[in-house]
Amino acid sequence: MRTIDDLDVDGRRVLVRADLNVPLEDGKITDDGRIRAALPTIMRLRSRGARVVVCAHLGRPKGEVKPEFSLRPVAIRLGELLGTRVVFADDVVGPSAHAAVGGLGEGDVALLENLRFEPGETSKDDAERGAFAGRLAALADCYVGDGFGAVHRRHASVFDVPARLPHAAGELIDAEVSVLRRLTEDVARPYAVVLGGSKVSDKLGVIDNLLGKADRILIGGGMVFTFLKAQGHEVGRSLLEEDQLDTVREYLRRAEANGVEFVLPVDVVAATAFAADADHDVVPADAIPADRLGLDIGPESGKLFASRLEGAGTVFWNGPMGVFEMEPYAHGTRAVAQGLLDSGAFTVVGGGDSAAAVRRLGFDENAFSHISTGGGASLEYLEGKTLPGLQALED
């Protein structure tokens, strides 16, 4: 995979596919982690005299122009972080985009409007997607793929544009791939994996693959209740995927046969409703009241999980342990994050809600070995899947 150093960018228009899919509330950015992750590549290109054209997506507007998904707030924040004005184009490949790009001098930066306002970006029709890719590629002389959070998507800006321009991987993608290789090819053991989030079905592939690679797998979050139910326990009104019970039972059987330790909570925080002010108590994980729902792992489980991370050589964590956005149910996620820091291991936080939780709960991001910008991409890589965006950069 070529890097930026392999491209001649001085005075040239460089299209950078970044991942700027940040959370917004009332038009304001609540977590700028992905914008900050894009800075090293943009700054490197600017220092080498490139005319930088950044493109990215935000949310799921499904091929329609929707003002609430505009990247304009991102352009403002990107400019603040770079310490320079970022020219914002009101469209993706239209007159505004061409004017913005045409007016760039060496070291200048422009940001195009949301890629997903264009139906061709996400189209499953190769011809439609290719036509849009051609128009996007026409804005630049070369391409840098740096949106790791989107490399598992066969989208025009990720997969088709690199085939039309000299291309290379940006610093973020280079770093992400290096870390993921350490999780798959040269793992320091013991190798512990912590999985949370709401659904078992979102993690089926990675669990299946890790049963032959990890030494222990710790399960929390909403997905744990399917595991508890598979063991015959009452889970009350907790999140449950009944259609995955047999699959989970098979995972538990295989884990035991392969010597992989599955660690499940011993207690949970069970509430009367999905609300911060609902009545809630810590109850044994195998005795959740029928009229309650589990919203976090309990304090003893937090201690248990931390103890199973202690002394690990490598820890990969993807998915919160509870509804961390509500303070009464944030303690389990906080305990796991602290457990990673105390473990002394090579620690990787697998993007998405886990990365957001680290920042929201006040942890120092630099204290972890790596915080990924792409939860879904990380999981698919660990499943052993071919990621279209990486495949395109390797050609």
Active-site positions read 34, 199, 352, 376
Annotated ligand binding at 308? The verdict is no
| 384 marked as binding residue | no
Annotated ligand binding at 254? The verdict is no
**Is 180 assigned a ligand-binding role in the annotation?**
no
Locate 1 and state its tokens.
Answer: 């995979």
Query: Could you count the other beta carbons within 10 Å of the beta carbon of residue 259?
Result: 8
In the structure encoding, which two tokens stand for residue 168, read together?
A: 């290379």
Is residue 182 annotated as involved in ligand binding? Answer: no
Preceding amide of 190 cis, omega within 30: yes
The answer to whether 72 is annotated as binding is no
Is 311 annotated to bind ligand? no
CB 50 within 8 A of CB 140: no
Do the Cβ atoms of 341 and 347 come closer than 8 Å? yes
34 annotated ligand-binding residue:
yes
Residue 354 annotated as binding site: yes
Sheet holding 293-297, edge to edge: 280-284, 267-271, 293-297
> Is 33 known as a binding-site position?
no
Residue 153 marked in a binding site: yes
Give the tokens for residue 339. Answer: 């457990």
Tell me how many degrees the CA angle 392-350-360 measures, rounded to the nearest 5.
130
259 marked as binding residue:
no
Q: Where does residue 57 fall: left (phi above 0), alpha (psi -120 to 50 degrees), or beta otherwise?
A: beta
Closest CA to 117 of 91, 154, 156: 91
Are the C-beta atoms of 45 and 16 separated by less than 8 Å? yes
Query: 353: annotated binding-site residue?
Result: yes
Q: Is 19 annotated as a binding residue?
A: yes
What is the distance, to the nearest Å, from the Cα of residue 55 to the centroid of all Cα atoms in its chain? 18
Strands 86-88 and 109-111: parallel
**116 annotated as a binding-site residue:** yes
What's the angle, vertex CA 323, arms to CA 311 and CA 173, rounded to 5? 60
98 marked as part of a ligand binding site: no
- The CA distances from residue 132 to 137, 146, 301, in Å, are 9, 19, 50
Extract the annotated binding site.
19-21, 34, 57-60, 116, 153, 203, 294, 325, 351-354
Extract the annotated binding site for substrate.
19-21, 34, 57-60, 116, 153
Extract the annotated binding site for ATP.
203, 294, 325, 351-354
